[in-house]
Structure 1
């Protein structure tokens, strides 16, 4: 009988193991499913209907945005979310874009959220995207921001424009050489260009311009993109491996991936990990993000070598390393790299978008182009090629054209998120509870009909005289308040000199009267390309 008993015990043990495995493979997935249901559905619905902050009274950008941040992530992935917001804000001053996020139309809300003295701090958005060290644009802590701005103010001071104008003039001359190579015969009146003559991508070359300019202004480095006609450049890994990669692709891919997934702050790192697994597209975008980091690393290390070799160069990097009296700032290397990164990013991308949008709007509005040319021709001689900044910086219609283009097509279009203080904050005529994400899209604010009449009409005249001065408080192309863009003076310098120089010297034409650019929104209002026909003006007869 003993062998039979042994068999029975062994059999029972195997059955118990089988039952245990079966229970494991049933219970664990079931528990995970129940947990997921609770986290992603039951709890968000509970919070939504509990409505502790009273946000259900506000219309949402879509049917799930008030329940989950997936709603705004969806809007970010499908197109230009600020356009949808703009339509909603025509009838609703406040729109809910997330369970704890509100969008405002503009007007008085601008100073309440972004103005000097506002108690609203930068939102978690910035710290989630920050690297090992904060840079000026993403630092949240106010004393730390003040310290950084004091260090960098010397670099971005208005007086430096005179010192750096020759670098902008150099890039303008190289841009003009590229135009000369693309020149074709004049277009006959009333005709559309031959497709074979539409050979100049104004979008690409303005981006080459700003990349070359900021590398020279910031790091005294000549990237040479305008000369070579492409953006292949050196990158360097953390272990010192140097290789070649495309600058624009790396930068734009990083912005695209981040702008899709950032809105669920607490889940951002998980979403990045998951996107790499489930999507070949996102996996490739995040690889390109590493290329961007390596491009920045290469720029910073090359410039550091020159500094360590004793070169005293008049650029942004020198201001990072030493104050105006030559005393070392003793910044950590990670902080220096972070500041170089935002300089190379924001210092090139947004200005290039401003430049290409200005040309697009001028070509869409020939009467405005004619009026701008009349102002320039009255100021400049026919033989001037690169226009001196001193001659044109106070031309009212030129500045009006730039500001109207920035109004219609703000390079940074999305709502820069801020966080209300713990005690809450009145924004416009609404009391908003504490610890709420609040924002105003520049695209939305600039289409507020109560401020900008005929907001969809490109009309530089609105910026002239006293009326134009009154509009400045609602103009947020460079944000507003203490956290406003520190590089706006450099941006205006580049925009003014390039636009005046090329409009004075050349004629341009779009591929057809019905041609429209391909646009999408990351944190910026992107444009794919702007193909144009270009030919020389007959300035002698002007």
Structure 2
């Protein structure tokens, strides 16, 4: 009898907590947010409404459709999404009163890293330490590492070269030998490991991403780097939006779903990949190796004095470096090539610009030769606009006293955000937003466009690694466009795209051959 009573109490309590109280709060409307249209039927009542949109695989596109009708959309009981670029400075600008949202605390481990630290003073401390590593002057010291990865990418592409495609034909399946998406990711993973930890992963050489992981008790095993990284992001990006329920959902999901069970297991692999990299680099540091990399900047300042960071904090910084420092740039590289192959006129114009400054037999393009080429940069920026690697609105929280956004007062402790996918499709700023038009970045209104360009976010919390990303994207794109011809599987072909925190394209198999095809062609 007691068991039935207890079950009834638990059921009633659960119903009251998860259903009745949220409905009551929706109609009480203590913050006055009910005036904003909902993303879906559940959005005003429970965060599970946005969890549902995330589960479908492209929540930012659902946001775009909603924002085509409404400038402000309620995506959760305490969350608002904006579409107007005028809200960027209110939410993300240097003078904003908005803070990092509790979203970042929800995902943080035992120690915060630069991207998820919410305390302003702690962020300033971290940024001061890391700014020396990401400074522009360091690009000169690290360019040879990017050049090395570019040479290895080219070696791999050369091995996949075929005879030129005959006019008016499409590639056969046997000729689609080069997965540009995979090799772009191998490039960025190899590059960030070298730049960050002076480690050679060798993915470009081996043509796969099998890597050693290590548990905290010293067990070594092999896992696939990308599978672990992407599974971690996918699982977290679906469940995190229900902030208070996230720990419970994280535990329940693998019990209720075999796919989540697999993703959570791969998340453990990701943690072990990071741990192995961190401990191996620490051992080299302790042995006195003097290496010019990101890890050295974490440990000591420019004068050789210890920064005093805790070990857990250093591991957290290595984790975000290996994650954000590789995935977004690889996505940008892939999208730039896809956009150019889908728009032959733009590709031809870029080749003309490159051919004017490069020798026909130039292999790895020196950064100084191409860093200021306007059309090359425009091609990269337009791909980053059309397909921003990080699509979701980076959440901020209004201060306790509230804050004005677009001239409208938003009560305190409310989550607010702008999705780059939505902002970059504002027709008033980017006419014909769905078209790939690099020329738009070369007009008189280019400065206005940059103000609306939030691929790297903006303000004090803008992406600290954007200079390295541009270095990698610029050198690789210039080198391969100058050396090769590529063909998509067919006219109108598009990659599959799945949104986690980043909008990740699926494989992009290409036919590749040398422009000067009398050399090294099989």
User: Shorter-normalised TM-score: what interval?
Assistant: over 0.9
Match of 2:114 in 1: 136
Match of 2:264 in 1: 286
Match of 1:481 in 2: 459
Question: Tell me, what secondary structure is at the counterpart of 1:535?
Answer: strand
Match of 2:317 in 1: 339
Match of 2:248 in 1: 270
Match of 1:424 in 2: 402
Match of 1:401 in 2: 379
Which has the larger displacement, 268-277 or 492-501? Answer: 268-277
Q: Could you list the runs of 4 or more consecutive aligned residues of structure 1 that deviate by over 4 angstroms after TM superposition? A: none
Q: Does 1:204 align with 2:182?
A: yes
1:539 deviates by 7.9
Q: Does 1:92 align with 2:65?
A: no
Question: Tell me, what secondary structure is at the counterpart of 1:95?
Answer: strand
Report if aligned partners of 1:262, 1:268 keep a CA contact under 8 Å in 2.
yes
2:478 paired residue among 491, 495, 500: 500
Following superposition of structure 1 onto structure 2, how do residues 140-155 of structure 1 map, counting pairs within 5 Å? 140-155=118-133
Q: For structure 1, which runs of at least 5 residues remain unmatched after alignment?
A: 1-22
1:532 paired residue among 482, 506, 510: 510
For 2:293 and 2:279, the matched residues in 1 are separated by 15
Following superposition of structure 1 onto structure 2, how do residues 1-400 of structure 1 map, counting pairs within 5 Å? 23-400=1-378
Report if aligned partners of 1:218, 1:343 keep a CA contact under 8 Å in 2.
yes
For 1:245 and 1:259, the matched residues in 2 are separated by 22
For 2:492 and 2:339, the matched residues in 1 are separated by 13
For 2:369 and 2:517, the matched residues in 1 are separated by 18
For 2:18 and 2:94, the matched residues in 1 are separated by 38
Report if aligned partners of 1:106, 1:474 keep a CA contact under 8 Å in 2.
no
1:404 deviates by 0.4
Residues 129-174 of structure 1: per-residue CA shift (max 9 Å, x gap): 0011000000000000000000000000000000000000000000
Question: Tell me, what secondary structure is at the counterpart of 1:191?
Answer: coil
1:91 deviates by 2.2
Which has the larger displacement, 54-63 or 135-144? Answer: 54-63
For 1:540 and 1:232, the matched residues in 2 are separated by 35
Question: Tell me, what secondary structure is at the counterpart of 1:466?
Answer: coil
1:540 deviates by 9.3
Q: TM-score, normalised by structure 2?
A: 0.98
Match of 1:463 in 2: 441
Question: Tell me, what secondary structure is at the counterpart of 1:394?
Answer: coil
For 1:336 and 1:531, the matched residues in 2 are separated by 37
Q: CA RMSD in A?
A: 1.1
For 1:370 and 1:47, the matched residues in 2 are separated by 58
Question: Tell me, what secondary structure is at the counterpart of 2:252?
Answer: helix
Report if aligned partners of 2:189, 2:322 keep a CA contact under 8 Å in 1.
yes
Report if aligned partners of 2:60, 2:422 keep a CA contact under 8 Å in 1.
yes
Match of 2:417 in 1: 439
Q: Does 1:449 align with 2:427?
A: yes
2:491 paired residue among 485, 493, 513: 513
1:25 deviates by 2.6
Q: TM-score, normalised by structure 1?
A: 0.95
1:190 deviates by 1.5
For 1:272 and 1:24, the matched residues in 2 are separated by 31
For 2:356 and 2:83, the matched residues in 1 are separated by 40
Which has the larger displacement, 495-504 or 81-90? Answer: 81-90
1:194 deviates by 1.1
For 1:75 and 1:486, the matched residues in 2 are separated by 30
For 1:263 and 1:130, the matched residues in 2 are separated by 14
1:465 deviates by 3.6
Count of matched residue pairs: 519
1:242 deviates by 1.3
For 1:246 and 1:538, the matched residues in 2 are separated by 36
Question: Tell me, what secondary structure is at the counterpart of 2:504?
Answer: strand
Match of 1:15 in 2: none
Report if aligned partners of 2:163, 2:517 keep a CA contact under 8 Å in 1.
no
Q: For structure 2, which runs of at least 5 residues remain unmatched after alignment?
A: none
For 1:87 and 1:280, the matched residues in 2 are separated by 31
Larger Rg: 1 or 2? 1
For 1:365 and 1:92, the matched residues in 2 are separated by 32
